[in-house]
Structures are given as structure tokens and as C-alpha cells.
Structure 1
Amino acid sequence: MPYSFISSTRPELSAKGKNIVITGGGSGIGKAVGLAFAKAGARSISIIGRRADVLRTAEAEIAAHKTTVLSVTADLADKDQTLAAFQLLSRKIGKIDVLVSNAGAYDSGHMATYSANSLMRTLELNVVTALHACQAFLPFVGPDPILLNTTSDMACMPAKEGWHGSGPYSISKAAALKFMDYFAAENPHIRVINVQPGWIPTEMTGYHEAAPDSVELPGAFYVWLASAEAAFLKGKVVWANWDAEELMQIAGEIQSMKKLTWAVTGVAI
């Protein structure tokens, strides 16, 4: 559960005046992030997804917190649909201050038998969707834009330590993480932070009973990441179940070194 330091109602984390757009915002982590930003006083919350009924339900839940909520049905694997969604939102809310890139899907299979078509579909759902969302975000960014990307520990861990058969998902999330690395480098005016949301019992993860983290934890952590306090994490990869106060205590060390970046170190290149 969230702790007091990352509470969405802490004044230092106020999202007052900010327009938030969340892809994959109709359920699970995306909806929790929307609820957390609403509690933080965001000017508007916009959620994008493929399932209109799921979006409508989430829209009603978030709107209960007295903020403007918009939902747009779009398949982010389709570039034209994605751009149209962002254009529509921009006409209604103006500039976008925070984009939460959260759309994605899980698939499993063994490398010896997994088909190329299946791999391309998994890459489309986890990489191409992020590509289209980020490209559509660029023309409408606010003066201090923030991009929070939902990643996975499977993008980083050795295969022998991963879940059995998780190769397709791991490959796609690793590719998405490297895409974000380049997007951040090429757009330095945007604060890009990659977030492993914890082990959450969600629809995508199968509501696993052993999952130790609640969906409210990444919700609150994302709000903290969008605050001035977390500016030192620009370009980094973080875990939502880390202690935010402890991260702040070593902020200088994190900024001055390659800590929390994705690279092979220890050898001269």
C-alpha cells in the first residue's frame, strides 16, 4: 500500500493545473494511476484504451474525485488512431503535461517453437504502441513535459532468473525500454522515467495470489515521480516498491553516476 511520503494528497505532490494522459488507462495499473492523479488534484485525466466499456467504468470511478475525465477508444498499434486520439484530447484540454505510457500485453512461449508472427504481434503491442503514443505526444507537450513509462523487471533480468516461458514478453519490454532510452536522449526537454510498477495482481498478470504489492502503490508512486522532488530521476529506471525517501537521500549519487540506467558495465568500450 502507499505510504505517507508518496501520498497523493501530500501538498508537495499536488498535480493542480496538470493535464494527465494515460494509455492503457481503463484497468489495472493505468486506472490506479488515474485515480491517484485525481486525488492529487490534476486538472484533467484522459484515459486511452481499446475497450470502450472498460474505459467508461474507469472514467466514472476517476470522475468521482471531482476532476475532468475524458476517455478515448483507440488502438495504439494504429498510428492514425493514436494521433487522432491525441489531437482530440488536445482540442479539449490543451497542452499535455504528463503522459503515462502504460499500454501493453503479456504473452509467453518457448524460443524453440514461438512463431515469428506471434513475436511480431507481441512487439507491436508493447513497442509499437509506445512508439505511436510518444510520437503523438510530442506536438502537444506542455512547458515542462513528463513521460512515465511502465516497464518490467523482465526487461532486465537474466533469462535463467525469469519466469518459465517469459521470453516473448521479456524481449518486447527490453525493446521498449531501449526505445525509451533513445526517445529520452533525442528529446531532452522531456523528463522520461521508466517505472517497474511492482508485482501487482492485475488482469494482465492473472491476479496472482502471491503478488505482494497493491495496485495503489504504483498509482501513488507515479504521482511522486511527476513532482519536482523526483526530477533527479530523469532518464532512470526505478521500481515503484522502492522507498522514495531513500532514493532522495542518494539523489546526488544517482545523478552523477550511471546508477539506475540500463547498460553493460565493468568493461571498457
Structure 2
Amino acid sequence: MTKLLEGKTVLVTGASAGIGRAAAIGAARHGADVAINFARDTDGADSAVAEIEALGQRGLAVQGDVADPETAKHFIARAVEEFGKIDVFVNNAGICPFHAFLDMPVETFERTMRVNLHGAYFMVQAAANQMVKQGHGGAIIAVSSISALVGGEYQTHYTPTKAGLHSLMQSTAIALGRHGIRCNSVLPGTILTDINKEDLADEAKRAYMAGRVPLGRLGQPDDLEGPIVFLASDLAKYVTGASLLVDGGAFVNLQ
């Protein structure tokens, strides 16, 4: 297999499970050393690092809550200390505590904003500063969502954060292009992860959701591996400010 990220160092937030874990292991499979951020799941983080190392690459897990701006500085510093550089940054960490709009608790709204959007802003800023300092460009990928483009009754706090990530990548593509740093986003559809496990526990709802997808199934975390690796690699050397739907065709299905 051609290793598209050979010799690169990749950082991924929220990578103890789900899409982040798949992206981290996919990067290692393509020849990258990988540092992951995680919030609480120590066992998941340890096993992700073990998988990275089993692929012959160096792995590092750094614990921290992305809602705290200091976490970004610490994560970047530890990765540089361990690996010497950053080539690719994948902002994946996010939460979606489903809740109705009219009685949305202030703390639920604010926590979602701090993790999904504020956390992403400071993580991307810290990674970009390190890339500028290094002077050899880089790639930043944000895991946004189809929810950046469509609404959700129980996601009125979540969808604005994903639209914000999409917009952040467009603006940072302009701000960082002169430094050779490419900024893009992936927009997953419904992916079977811990974030929606409870919401999709109802088999009827799960079947309904799958039935809306032209490819006939809901997504798995590793469905994001290829798109993220592509955007991180030199195959995408002239791609910046772009967004890539990874949704099985759900967005275009109006039926």
C-alpha cells in the first residue's frame, strides 16, 4: 500500500474513540507518527496508541479538555517535544447532548459551544502558530458535519457549532494560505459513534435513518479515514477552503 503520510506527524483531538480514533489509526497506517488528545477515556486512548505503535509508528496520548484554551497549548507543546514538528492537525473533538430548544439549559448550550467551537478555534490557532514557526506549511482538517448545512430539532445548540467549524476552515484557509497551510473540512452524515448511540438505540429510528441514505446504510468511523487522509496528504496539495461531504448521499436525497 502506498503510504500517503510517510514521514509526517499528525495530531488528532478527541481520538480515543469514534471518528478521531479512525483518523489517528488511518494516519498511522499511511506512515505518520500520531499524537492524540482525549478527555476522559484513558483505556481507549491507550489502546489507540497501542494500535498506532503496532503499525510501526510512534504514538502519544495527551489528556485534556479542549474547552480549556490552555489544553491546546499543552497538546501542541507535548507533540512537538515528542516528535519535533506538526505537519497535520485534525480537529475532531465534539459533543452533542441532544435536547429540545425551548427549555435548553444554559449550561448545555454553553458547554457544547466551548467544546465544539471555542475549543476548535484555540486548537487550530495553536497548531497553526506552530506550523508557521516551522516554516514548511501543513494541513488542518476540521471534522464538521452535515449538520452545518441542515437543521436538527434536538440539535439547535450543536448545528451552529458545526456551521462555525465549516466557516472557520474557510476563513483560516485565507488567513494561512500565505504560509502554505491548507485548511479544509469534512462533513460526515450520520456515523455510528458514541455521540449518537442513545439516539439510535431505537431500531425503528435507526432503520429509518439508514433508509434515507442512498448508499443504504449509516456510516462507520472508518468511512472518514480515507477522506481525512486524502486532505492531509500531498494528493490534496491544491485543495484549501473546501468541504467534503461524507454522508452516503444523504444531503442530496430530497425524498
Establish whether TM, by shorter chain, passes 0.5.
yes
Secondary structure at the aligned position of 2:186 is classed as strand
Kept in 1: contact 2:88–2:138 (CA 8 A): yes
| Alignment equivalent of 1:204, drawn from 178, 195, 209 | 195
Q: Tell me how far 1:119 sits from its aligned partner.
A: 1.3
- What amino acid does structure 2 have at the position aligned with 1:180? M
For 1:5, the equivalent position in structure 2 comes to none
1:101-120 aligned within 5 A: 101-120=91-110
1:163-178 aligned within 5 A: 164-178=153-167
Q: Does 1:148 align with 2:141?
A: yes
Moved over 6 A (4+): none
In 2, distance between residues paired with 1:102 and 1:237? Answer: 15
Q: Tell me how far 1:165 sits from its aligned partner.
A: 1.6
Q: Deviations over 1:85-113 (max 9, x none)?
A: 21111111111000000011012223322
Secondary structure at the aligned position of 1:56 is classed as helix
Q: Tell me how far 1:242 sits from its aligned partner.
A: 6.9
| Alignment equivalent of 2:10, drawn from 20, 28, 31 | 20
Q: Tell me how far 1:117 sits from its aligned partner.
A: 2.9
Kept in 2: contact 1:82–1:136 (CA 8 A): yes
Secondary structure at the aligned position of 1:187 is classed as helix
Q: Tell me how far 1:74 sits from its aligned partner.
A: 1.1
TM-score, scaled to structure 2: 0.82
RMSD over aligned Cα atoms: 2.0
For 1:213, the equivalent position in structure 2 comes to 219
Moved more, 51-60 or 64-73: 51-60
Q: Tell me how far 1:15 sits from its aligned partner.
A: 0.8
Number of matched pairs: 228
Over the matched positions of the two proteins, sequence identity in percent amounts to: 27
| Alignment equivalent of 1:77, drawn from 55, 67, 74 | 67
| Alignment equivalent of 1:233, drawn from 227, 239, 243 | 239
1:1-269 aligned within 5 A: 9=1, 11=2, 14-42=4-32, 44-51=33-40, 52-141=42-131, 142=134, 143-157=136-150, 159=151, 162=152, 164-188=153-177, 189=179, 190-206=181-197, 208=200, 209=206, 210=210, 212-241=218-247
For 2:214, the equivalent position in structure 1 comes to none
Secondary structure at the aligned position of 1:221 is classed as helix
In 2, distance between residues paired with 1:175 and 1:124? Answer: 12
Secondary structure at the aligned position of 1:121 is classed as helix
Moved more, 225-234 or 184-193: 225-234
For 2:253, the equivalent position in structure 1 comes to none
Q: Tell me how far 1:144 sits from its aligned partner.
A: 2.5
In 2, distance between residues paired with 1:62 and 1:205? Answer: 26
- What amino acid does structure 2 have at the position aligned with 1:155? A
Secondary structure at the aligned position of 2:157 is classed as helix
In 1, distance between residues paired with 2:31 and 2:140? Answer: 19
In 1, distance between residues paired with 2:169 and 2:104? Answer: 26
Kept in 2: contact 1:147–1:192 (CA 8 A): yes
Q: Deviations over 1:30-57 (max 9, x none)?
A: 1111111111111x11101112232112
In 1, distance between residues paired with 2:247 and 2:147? Answer: 15
Q: Tell me how far 1:222 sits from its aligned partner.
A: 1.0
